[in-house]
């Protein structure tokens, strides 16, 4: 039986945890389910982007009236919570790796980037606070276990996870924007012929040499992702090394066990 949701809970939280919630009174037997509403929203967003996530459009897709959809989810904010939970999906399995914290953190970040490749509109979803839904909490717990296992405090691990999360979303957003850009590519001969003399006039010798060498490009290739991610992990590695150096030798050795 549906429950009356605590008004102090964020929109969609109880539904995300699988608890049926009272919405408006149904005048007849419902023809859809919350799961079908979310599936339709995912299809629309994958096809037409974040702006497609409107209640009227989803209702039309399912053959519902504009008002009838509110029998299942009470607001767009509630729907966005459920759609985000479904789109991020299950957290990556980090326990099957090498046991090295760096490899596991890299795998976690790349898994986020991959999800943004599958659902590019995820980068447009507003972040309204710390994760509180099942899948997102699983993602958070996965990286926190990796980083606390390397010797960081929970607060330090959360701070590092925030940086990795931001990097993944930034890469996902850049790749999405470039994929759908209608601008002329920077790597074209026409653009290079136009810019090179102007770069030299301004004394931009580094940029000019990169453009001449075909190293100045619009693409965000895997090497670019790896380079940036490695620099972030290098920084976390300095913190991990400092923490381990301050530990007794016996405790430091115990952290070499697999995840």
Asked if the model's pLDDT at residue 255 lies above 70, the reply is no
Res 187: pLDDT: 74
Residues written for the chain: 259
| Residue-wise pLDDT tens digits, 185-205 | 777 788 889 999 999 999 999
Domain contains 95: no
- Residue 207 located in a structural domain: no
pLDDT of residue 102: 96
- C-alpha closest to that of 219 among 187, 252, 192: 187
d(CA 57, CA 64): 10
Got the DSSP string for 189-245?
A: HHHHHHHHHHHHHTT-HHHHHHHHTT---S---HHHHHHHHHHHHHHHHHHHHHHHH
167-190: per-residue pLDDT in tens? 999 999 999 988 887 776 777 788
pLDDT of residue 182: 75
Q: At a CB cut-off of 8 Å and minimum separation 6, what does 101 contact?
A: 146, 147, 149, 150, 240, 259
CATH number of the domain to which 37 belongs: 1.10.10.60
Angstrom distance (rounded) from CA 16 to CA 81: 8
Give the residue among 65, 78, 75, 80 at the shortest CA–CA distance from 30. 65
How high is the pLDDT of residue 259?
56
Domain housing 31: 13-88
Per the structure, how many domains does the chain have?
A: 2
| Average pLDDT score over residue span 152-170 | 97
In this predicted structure, the answer to whether residue 141 has a pLDDT above a threshold of 80 is yes
Give the pLDDT score at 53. Answer: 94
Percent over 70 (pLDDT), the chain = 87
- Contact yes or no for 161/148 (Cβ under 8 A): no
Looking at the predicted structure, is the pLDDT value of residue 253 above 60?
Answer: no
pLDDT recorded at residue 36: 94
- Over the stretch 16-45, which tens digit does the pLDDT of each residue have? 998 876 655 555 556 788 999 999 999 999
Query: Do 56 and 141 have their domain in common?
Result: no
Look over the chain and give the mean of its residue pLDDT values, rounded to a whole number: 88
Considering the entire predicted model, what is its pTM? 0.85
Average pLDDT, stretch 214-234?
90
Same domain, 44 and 107: no
Q: 212 near 242, Cβ under 8 Å?
A: no
Q: Choose one of 36, 66, 88: the last residue of a domain.
A: 88
**Chosen domain end from 54, 88, 122:** 88
Tokens of residue 47, six digits: 């096809």
Q: How far apart are CA 191 and CA 131, in angstroms?
A: 44
Checking if the pLDDT of 1 tops 50, the result is no
Asked whether residue 94 is assigned to any structural domain, the reply reads no
In three-state secondary structure terms, 22 is coil
Give the single-character DSSP code of 3: B
Q: What is the pLDDT of residue 96?
A: 66
Spatial contact of 158 and 144, defined as CB atoms under 8 Å apart? yes
* Percentage with pLDDT > 90 across the chain: 62
Structure confidence at residue 180 (pLDDT): 81
Which of the four pLDDT bands, split at 50, 70 and 90, describes residue 3? very low
244 and 145 assigned to the same domain: yes
Q: What is the pLDDT of residues 235-251, one digit of tens each?
A: 999 999 999 898 776 65
Helix (H) or strand (E) holding 127: none
Confidence of residue 98 (pLDDT cuts 50, 70, 90): low
- Cα(214)–Cα(186) distance, rounded to whole angstroms? 10
């Amino acid at each position: 039986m549906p429950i009356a949701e605590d008004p102090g809970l964020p929109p969609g939280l109880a539904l995300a945890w699988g608890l049926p919630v009272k919405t408006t009174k149904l005048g007849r037997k419902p023809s859809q389910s919350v799961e079908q509403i979310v599936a339709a929203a995912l299809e629309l967003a994958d096809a037409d982007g974040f702006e497609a996530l409107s209640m009227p459009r989803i209702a039309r897709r399912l053959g519902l009236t504009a008002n009838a959809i509110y029998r299942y989810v009470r607001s767009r904010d509630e729907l966005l919570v459920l759609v985000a939970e479904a789109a991020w999906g299950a957290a990556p399995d980090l326990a099957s790796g090498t046991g090295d914290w760096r490899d596991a953190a890299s795998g976690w970040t790349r898994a986020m980037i991959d999800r943004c490749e599958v659902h590019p509109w995820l980068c447009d979803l507003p972040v309204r606070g710390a994760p509180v839904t099942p899948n997102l909490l699983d993602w958070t717990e996965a990286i926190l276990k990796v980083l606390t296992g390397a010797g960081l405090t929970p607060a330090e691990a959360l701070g590092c996870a925030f940086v990795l999360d931001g990097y993944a979303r930034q890469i996902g957003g850049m790749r999405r924007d470039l994929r759908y850009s209608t601008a002329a590519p920077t790597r074209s001969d026409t653009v290079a012929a136009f810019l090179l003399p102007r770069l030299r006039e301004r004394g931009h010798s580094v940029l000019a040499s990169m453009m001449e060498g075909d190293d100045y490009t619009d693409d965000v290739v895997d090497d670019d992702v790896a380079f940036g991610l490695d620099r972030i992990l290098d920084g976390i590695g300095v913190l991990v090394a400092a923490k381990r150096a301050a530990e007794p030798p016996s405790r430091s050795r115990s952290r070499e066990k697999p995840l």
